[in-house]
Chain A
Amino acid sequence: MLKVEGIDVFYGNIHAVRQISFSVEQGEIVTLIGANGAGKSTILNTVSGLLRPKNGTVTFEGRRIDHLPPHKVLTFGLAQVPEGRRIFSRMTVEENLEMGGYTRPGAECAGALEDVYRRFPRLAERRRQIAGTLSGGEQQMLAMGRALMAKPKLLMLDEPSMGLAPLLVEQIFEIIKELHAAGTTILLVEQNAQMALSVADRAYVLETGRIVMEGAAAALLEDDKVRSAYLGS
């Protein structure tokens, strides 16, 4: 479904991502794990079109998307939940969600809105509330709901557990599992390797802009090197 081949991404002179290749197949949850600064978010931002790779290609369902601006990429069915949630804090919950359906015609949006409210009843309760006053977990739900408004085929989540209490992290990962069960393909970027590996089918381990390990998530969860480096045991 998504195929990334040999991309190099630079921030000015800084070579942030080196010759990275990976793929996501229809119906999978694939996770990229690694420490701070490993280049995980950079990769997501490159796929979604916020950044341009210097070399290499990104193809989605057979179409090259690495030269396209974000609003085009979105219309192909790739939605991103940006790192740190980034909700529109002075808009209401409903307005935030409507922004998520920005690229779609109004009639489709109404249906999508109902779907999102069904999945996140908490958001439905608070539809008129100013988004900035939501709790961290609710804001993460809102950010996910907003991305779902675009009815993506592939949902990219950038550190959904960031800054959340352990209980809420569990809750968010439950939702990820539910979304996956409902047929959404998911590309998940996480620092919380334990959680990410427990929900994912396959995983790639990143270190300073390179993929150092890849394989089935269950196998990586048992791997000694991964355990000592990322799981703290």
Chain B
Amino acid sequence: MKQTVKRIPMPVRYLINTVLIALLVFGSTAYVNGGGVSGYITKVLMVIGINIILAVSLNVATGYLGQLPLGHAGFMAVGAYTGGIFLKAVNASELGGAGYAAAIAAALVLSGLVAAFFGIIIGVPALRLRGDYLAIITLGFGEIIRVVLTNIDDLLGFKLTYGASGLKRIPKITSYFNVLVCVVLTCLVIHLIMKSRHGRAILAIRENEIAAESCGVRTTYYKVMAFTLSAFFAGVAGCLYAGYLGSLQPTTFGFMKSIEILVMVVLGGMGSMLGSILSAITLTALPEALRAFEDYRMVAYSLVLVLVMIFKPTGLMGQYDFSLSRILEKLLNLGKKSKKEG
């Protein structure tokens, strides 16, 4: 007996997903802006969004490409300072309407591009190395960025970064809405790339570099591309962070920040975007929820990590990725099956 499986055609899938995402973005923004949640919760939501972008972008280099870079905070710092300096220079908070939106968009893109540029510079030499060596060299990069930002306060006579005292009075451009839009765009772009032949090449490199090379994949090119993509979105997240906080301290972007992001990726499951998103939410919300038990929250945090690594070493989601259409299809076919039986 030939089993017919109901499938949702591709255009309909896209339509359903687009509508749902639009509903989520505009609906939740209206709710948040309408005073549905407290200012504190809104801030936590914004941090969650920024962390989602960081985790999803690091997942490209760690989960999909299979490398272990430890300098993600460095790229974030580059993006944050670029965005901060740019926003101050154009005086974004004085602009109105379209100018304001354009300034934000320009700041985000510029931050991403500068971070991506650093991604290429670091990626080309670093990706010749593997495993621990790559970890060390990217770790070094992150620290260099931090140390440079701490010690240099002007460049060619322009006072830009203000050294150890930090970059202050950055226009606070980050809102719940633009964080959410950035999260959606980040996930969308990364998803589309990973589903394309470029994505397949990146996965092949993770599986077996020599085999990928003998299949005609330009391994160096794709490694640098994945690394740069990862850096780009880290830069975008950095810019959002600058616009969220309004001031930047070089110490924020230390080694521990990189580790924090890495933990999110590993906990969620390397190579699963859904995992990165969920664990970014959990690991941001958990310390906030545990704020009442100030002394114990780091204990609880570490405990969660240890337990997950013992009982689910591949991370919460493993390699699983969420597909709404797949679930809908399952439901459709489920109804059919039971009808047949009945």
Contacts and interface: CB of A to CB of B under 8 A. Distances in A.
Interface of A: 48, 50, 69-71, 74-75, 79-82, 86-91, 95, 98-100, 102-103, 143, 146-147, 150
Given A86-B210, A102-B197, A91 B203 contact: yes
Contacts of A99: 200, 204, 211-212, 215, 217
Which of B207, B210, B216, B319 has the most A CB atoms < 10 Å from its CB?
Answer: B216
B127 to A, nearest CB: 15
Contacts of B215: 74, 99-100, 102-103, 146, 150
A79 B211 CA distance: 11
Given A88-B207, A91-B207, A98 B200 contact: yes
Which 10 residue pairs across A and B have the least CB separation, nearest first?
A103-B216, A88-B207, A86-B211, A71-B216, A74-B216, A80-B214, A99-B215, A70-B213, A86-B208, A102-B215
A71 B210 contact: no
Contacts of B216: 70-71, 74-75, 102-103, 150
Given A90-B319, A98-B200, A99-B212, A71 B207 contact: no
Nearest to A147: B214
Given A80-B214, A91-B204, A143-B211, 5 more contacts: A69-B218, A82-B214, A102-B201, A102-B204, A150-B216
7 contacts: A80-B214, A82-B214, A102-B204, A102-B215, A103-B215, A103-B216, A150-B216
Interface string B169-212: 00000000000000000000000000001001101100110111
Contact of B210 (A74, A75, A82, A95): A82
B64 to A, nearest CB: 12
Contacts of B210: 50, 82, 86
A154 to B, nearest CB: 13
Given A88-B207, A89-B207, A74 B197 contact: no
Interface of B: 197, 200-201, 203-204, 207-208, 210-218, 319
Nearest to A69: B218
A146 B217 CA distance: 13
A143 B208 CA distance: 12
A90 B207 contact: yes
B77 to A, nearest CB: 34
Contacts of A69: 218
Which of A69, A71, A143 has the most B CB atoms < 10 Å from its CB?
Answer: A71
B200 to A, nearest CB: 7
Which of B204, B211, B217 has the most A CB atoms < 10 Å from its CB?
Answer: B211
A106 to B, nearest CB: 9
Contacts of A147: 214
A48 B214 contact: yes
B5 to A, nearest CB: 13
Contacts of A98: 200
Contacts of B201: 102
A103 B204 CA distance: 14
Nearest to A80: B214
Contacts of A86: 208, 210-211, 214
Nearest to B217: A102
A77 to B, nearest CB: 12
A71 B208 contact: no
Nearest to B221: A71
A82 B217 contact: no
A152 B211 CA distance: 16
A102 to B, nearest CB: 5
